[in-house]
Amino acid sequence: MSCIAHTETARISLATSSRLLLVIIGAASLAACAQSPAGRQRADLAPTTRQTAIERPHRVAALHPRPIYRPHRSHDIASAKSTASQGVASFYSDTETASGEKFDKNELTAAHPSLPFGTKLRVTDVSSGRAVTVRVNDRGPFVRGRVVDISPSAAEALGMVDKGITNVRLDVVR
How high is the pLDDT of residue 82?
53
pLDDT digits (tens, 9 = 90+) for 55-104: 544 444 444 455 555 554 444 444 444 556 899 999 988 778 999 999 99
Those residues with Cβ within 8 angstroms of residue 92's Cβ, 6 or more apart along the chain or in another chain:
111, 140, 141, 149, 150, 151
Predicted pLDDT of residue 66: 52
Structurally, the chain folds into a number of domains equal to 2
Residues of the chain with pLDDT under 70: 1-12, 33-84
35 within domain boundaries: yes
| Residue 166 confidence (pLDDT) | 94
Range of the domain at 112: 77-172
Model-level pTM greater than 0.75? no
Rounded to whole angstroms, how far apart are CA atoms 157 and 87?
18
Check whether residue 42 and residue 116 sit in a common domain. no
85 and 16 in one domain?
no
